[in-house]
Structure 1
Amino acid sequence: MGSRSASCGCCFDFASCPRLTQRTDFRRKVDLHLLPPLAFVYAFALIDRSNLGIARLVGMDEDLGITIGDRFSILSMLFFIPYTLFQIPSNLLIRHVGPRLWISTCVLGWGVAQLSMGFASAWGHVAVCRVFLGVFEAGYFPAMTYVITTWYKRNEIQRRLGAFYLTSLLAAGFGSILGYGINGLDGKGGLAGWRWIFILEGATTIFLGLVTCVVVPVFPDQNRFLEPEETKYILQRVDEDRGDATPDKMTAAVFREHITDPLLWIYGLMYMCATMAFSAVGYFTTLLLNGMGFNVTESLLLSAPPFAFTAISMYFFSWISDITKRRAVFIGAQATLSTVGLFITMFGQVPAVRYLGIYLTTAGSAGCVPAILAYSANNVVSQTKRSVSTGLIISFGGSGGIFATMVFRQQDYPNYRPGMWAAAGCQLLMLCLLCLTTFILRRRNLRCQQGLLRKPLEGQPGFFYTL
């Protein structure tokens, strides 16, 4: 997974610098500065976008009539339309505006939208808030993925994306328990418990938006928390790995070249398949559990444990993928895990067995998210292409969310059988696309090794694709 690259103009003898002799400790310093604040904020993004199902269970449906027809599916879907459309524009702007200003604006915006839902008097008001929630959340995840991938070598990326994502999932996984606790305020101040869920979680997000003005990390070439020689070390090791430590200029021609790369669209379709299953889990697990015969309290509490198992599974696959420098085989393993879980949930005869299926589906589908992002990030060179690829690929995640909310229909409650079949089909499609990308990338690597290409892969001498 190595490459030889041009110098970024920062070569020197790192062994002569005492601060850089313990490189593991140095990388840990970067990890601790980048990952915890990003993960904590993203956890609230996941909580804020998925607490609609919790609010529905504890009384929102009775007050606003969101179970009439397809209203709940529509409300769930409306988030994903702007979330899909604004991903690429957001990533194109972040270099010009700066990560801190851009991200803090996004967090403040979705916090206000979340809080406003607590004062909705009709389901149409909730619909408007969900649209704005999608607009502002669209800027966060692709931007953070872009920023994180600029700091690390290719064989270090998945563990970092996995740690970022699993920390978020662990926190968000207990969002159902948090919602259950907040619902205890039912009647306080003359407000229903479901309103307090939106108000308190929205207010917390607004506070985090103010904090992000200070703590959100920036690109390595812009950082101020490292010493100058440490920054040079970061830039050179990235440059030696893939040759894109120095930002290149985005132009219309460059954007057109990047956006027309068919591999980026294939990665995007794979990502859509993963997020379709995971969005279904995020929005409908409490409802599936309720349909299995568990009461409201049990459904909320039992929604959390699968995320703890997911954290273990995700970190294991991220660790082994980075150690072996292989991506495709472990994406395939997790997609298979998700598929098995979906069939167990569909055809299990007792609630305990079906609940086991939710564990496997959550672990497999969630684990594919950082895996696919690492797979794609490992196979692009240049920061402009990285910004376009992360924005494009993650926008497909919004499409997966739209798909999930449309096929998990109210009339299919409590088993949601058509939606479960659609999610299983997405996993099988992902496996097919994975075989296709593996074939293409292996063939290109072989042709490069044989000297049959007119120019280096990705325009970078010594670069080979990660399989």
Structure 2
Amino acid sequence: MEVEEKHNDHHVETYSDDANKVGDQEEQRHYANIDEGFDPLEIKRIVRKIDYRLIPILSAMYCISLIDRTNLSLARAANSMQMQKDLRLDIGYRYSIAALVFFIPYIVLEIPSQLGLRKFGARWWLGTSVILWGAVMIGMGFSNSWSMLAGFRAWLGMFEATLFPGAAYLISCWYPRKSMAVRNTAFYVVSIVISGLSSILAYGLGMLHGRNGLHGWQWIFIIQGVITVAIGLLGYLFIVDFPDKAHFLTEEQRDIVTTRIQRDRGDAVVDPMTWAKFKSYILSPRLWIYGYMFGSSTVGSYSLAYFLPRILAQMGFTNAQSQLLVAPPYAWAAIPALTSAYFADRIRGARSIAVIVNAVFLIVGTCMYSQLPVAQKAARYAGIFFAIGGCNANVPLVISWAQTSIRSQSKRGFTAALVVAWGGVGGIIASVVFMEREAPSYPTGVYLTIGMNVAVILLCIGLNLYYRYQNKRADRGLVVLEGSPDFRYQM
């Protein structure tokens, strides 16, 4: 008997010629049995309770996170570019630097933030982070120089680094893999739809221009900062911690939750992060592929979040019209996002296909809004719908796919942080390559966005083929995936 073992925490392979299992039956058994022995109605009641306690507050927190990190462009456009005049953001690359500096601490602190989440608990860790960045937002409203504004943006990135990877990891601890994409997408989509209305809120707050000696852009930061602090305080009341500490469930209900997770992927028990695990995780090519795909999606989402008012203004719309026209594409984004997440969870093998379809939407939409003649306003505006729908549908899909393709709580926490850190890289790229001097077509940013997402399509195809190959080998007993004989990659 030939045996070869690779001992590491991210991929354990065991080859043997004495295993000849009927793989398809084993895989079907694995998917069917996570609910075996439980009352289906009781499971529905438990899942509903978890949904009501977890998703709304996380959505509210991420919604205000998106508003706070991307409202720079709206504040800049308010009251005939008053902030640009006050802080001299028109000089050199000052505006781009102020937008970009957010992402440096955001990227660096993603992985360390996950350690604090487990140590202090989701309620205190996430709630406190939201309150602190709300205070930073209020401070931004009193900036008297561009460098002061940039400094506040760096602090904002530091505190916001905790939320998205923490929320994605927390969701993965509560739900089996077959439910993860819809929950991640629901939490994310509610956030982007409401944050899309931030342009209308910013327009209204801009009308406070001159009140109490403050300009409209200052009111935008201050009022949104106050709202952020209020949401952080609500987080202390409503965020649920991990299943083993869930006081809103009975002991029997907690057992059902952990048993379903254990049957689904065998990692309901917390495993501590060690240096050996960290090294094995960070050397896993698959995790970096997911990170790249996530970053490619956020290049599209951040570029539109930061520059959409300018893009619309250069189509011939007034500043007021541009701010109001920002909202509809984000409302539309809920449709492709929820649809693709639904099919990704319900149809085996559909995760990669959904990511590919959304990447195509992003590519086509980017070409439309950037390359069509300026006179074709309606067609260019339609392209914005395609682009925003595609990139924002892929953000939760990619991180869900990553979380369903690995095992162990330490690895899921690390993966969430690594993938979201790549989102910060996408934000930096968007801040740099969409250059004012190239407006309104932004060729550098447009071609890079298209090229990166063509690569996403190719990587999806490659991962799909690799996973199919590895699953077939596992079905024949030739390999143990992720350290569990029952585990299969999801495609």
* TM-score interval, normalised by the smaller of the two chains: over 0.9
Q: Deviations over 1:160-198 (max 9, x none)?
A: 001000000111000111000111100000100010000
- For the residues of structure 1 that align with 2:29 and 2:259, how far apart are their CA atoms? 13
Among 101, 107, 110, the alignment partner of 1:84 is 107
Residue among 61, 65, 68 paired with 1:48: 68
Alpha-carbon distance in structure 1 between the residues aligned to 2:149 and 2:143: 6
Percent of pairs with identical residues: 36
Q: Which amino acid aligns with 1:181?
A: G
Change (3 A) 1:3 1:271: farther
Cα 1:164–1:3, aligned 2, differ >3 Å: closer, same or farther? farther
Q: What amino acid is aligned across from residue 170 of structure 2 in structure 1?
A: V
User: 2: distance between equivalents of 1:128 and 1:247?
Assistant: 37
Deviation at 1:457, TM superposition (A): 0.2
- Equivalent residue, structure 2, for 1:263: 286
Q: Spell out the pairing of 1:8-157 with structure 2 (5 A cutoff).
A: 13-15=37-39, 21-58=41-78, 59-157=82-180
SS of corresponding position for 1:150: helix
Distance 1:323 1:211 in 2: 33
* Alpha-carbon distance in structure 1 between the residues aligned to 2:38 and 2:351: 30
Which secondary structure does the structure 2 equivalent of 1:432 belong to? helix
How many angstroms does 1:24 deviate by?
2.5
Q: Assess if the C-alpha contact under 8 Å between 1:73 and 1:410 holds in 2.
A: no
Give the Cα separation in 2 of the matches to 1:64 and 1:414. Answer: 24
Counterparts of residues 161-172 of structure 1 (less than 5 Å): 161-172=184-195
Q: Which residue of 1 aligns with 2:408?
A: 382
Q: CA deviation at 1:12?
A: 9.8
Contact 2:371 2:441 survives alignment (8 Å):
no
8 Å Cα contact 1:106/1:136 also seen in 2: yes
1:80 deviation in Å?
0.8
2:391 maps to what in 1? 365
The aligned amino acid for 2:46 is F
What's the CA shift string for 1:386-426, capped at 9, x where partnerless? 01111111100000000000001121223322211211112
Please list every run of 5 or more consecutive structure 2 residues that lacks an aligned counterpart in the other structure: 1-26
Alpha-carbon distance, 1:230 to partner: 0.9
Q: Is the 8 A contact 2:121 2:241 kept in 1?
A: yes
Q: Deviations over 1:51-101 (max 9, x none)?
A: 000011112111111122211111111111111110000012211121111
Determine which of 434, 438, 450 is the counterpart of 2:464: 438
Counterpart in the other structure of 1:463 = 487
Question: Given the two structures, how large is their TM-score scaled by the length of structure 1?
Answer: 0.95
Is 2:230 the partner of 1:207?
A: yes
Aligned mates of 1:323, 1:106 — CA distance in 2? 35
Q: Which of 451, 460, 484 in structure 2 is aligned with 1:425?
A: 451
Contact 2:359 2:394 (8 Å CA) reproduced: yes
Q: Is the 8 A contact 2:301 2:388 kept in 1?
A: yes
**Farther-moved stretch of structure 1 (43-52 vs 69-78):** 69-78
CA distance, structure 2, for counterparts of residue 277 and residue 246 of structure 1: 37
Shift of 1:367: 0.4
Deviation at 1:21, TM superposition (A): 3.0
After the TM superposition, which parts of structure 1 deviate over 3 Å for at least 4 consecutive aligned residues? 1-5, 11-15
- The aligned runs of 1:302-381 (5 Å cut-off) are 302-325=325-348, 326-349=350-373, 350-381=376-407
Could you say what secondary structure the match of 1:459 adopts?
A: coil
Residues paired across the two proteins, number? 458
Deviation at 1:210, TM superposition (A): 1.8
Q: Deviations over 1:346-367 (max 9, x none)?
A: 2222111111000000000000
Deviation at 1:372, TM superposition (A): 0.3
Rounded to whole Å, the distance in 2 between the matches of 1:130 and 1:2 is: 49
Instruction: Note the residue ranges of structure 1 that are not aligned, 5 or more in a row.
Output: none
Q: TM-score, normalised by structure 2?
A: 0.90
